[in-house]
Amino acid sequence: MKIFKDAIEHNGRRCDIHHTDANNFDALPDGLILKAHAVCFWGGKMLLVHHAEYDIWSIPGGTRESGESIEEALAREIMEETNCDMVDYIPIAYQKIVDPDGDGYYRLQYRCNVVPRGEFKEDIAGHVDRIAWIDPGDFEKYIEDKEFKKAVIRRALELL
């Protein structure tokens, strides 16, 4: 496990990220798994999404809705943000987001193969304004200079 101190803000508070590479998520408490993200591939390219509000590139993913399994949430988020269908997936890492009181939740990270449904037009939620299919080796030109984000992509590339 690697700890990234004060890495993100959640609910107005600075939180640490406890990053762990993993091949499964069986030991994690389901009730604390709130988010899922994926490093997605198709045709030798890696898929990134651009968040207009923050002007950053990232991997697709988001928050689990009530009654969804985390895999259903992942597939839905990928479809909504990219207009791609998830073909398959494997677990690669998880990140526990820990607030100053020691409370936290889990964000699961996957490597996925996807297939486009057609041209990307818009994100249903309005967060993503465009997508890009990039050469995987070029990801550092796009992703913010935040090591906890890059660690996920590096792990996905190791498993290709």
pLDDT level of residue 130 (50, 70, 90 thresholds): very high
What's 76's domain CATH number?
A: 3.90.79.10
Domain assignment of residue 108, given as a range = 2-158
What pLDDT is attached to residue 108?
98
8 Å CB contact between 79 and 40: no
Residues 105 and 126: their CA atoms lie apart, in Å, by 24
Mean pLDDT of 43-72: 96
Tally the C-alpha atoms within 13 A of residue 4's C-alpha that lie toward its C-beta: 16
Number of domains in the chain: 1
With a pLDDT cut of 90, the percent of the chain lying above it is 93
d(CA 74, CA 65): 10
Residues 6+ apart with CB under 8 A from 82: 40, 47, 49, 60, 114, 116, 120, 128, 131
Q: d(Cα 3, Cα 16) in Å, to the nearest integer?
A: 7
Look at residue 123 in the predicted model and tell me its pLDDT.
87
Phi then psi dihedrals of residue 62, to 5 deg: 175, -155
DSSP-assigned letter for residue 146:
-
| Beta strands 104-116 and 56-58, pairing class | unpaired
Q: 131 falls in which pLDDT band (50, 70, 90)? A: very high
Going by the DSSP 8-state scheme, the letter that residue 32 receives in this structure is G
Strand pairing partners for 30?
none
User: Would the pLDDT of 44 be above 90?
Assistant: yes
Closest-CA residue to 139 (of 128, 126, 153, 151): 153
Digit-coded pLDDT (tens) for 18-36 = 999 999 999 999 999 999 9
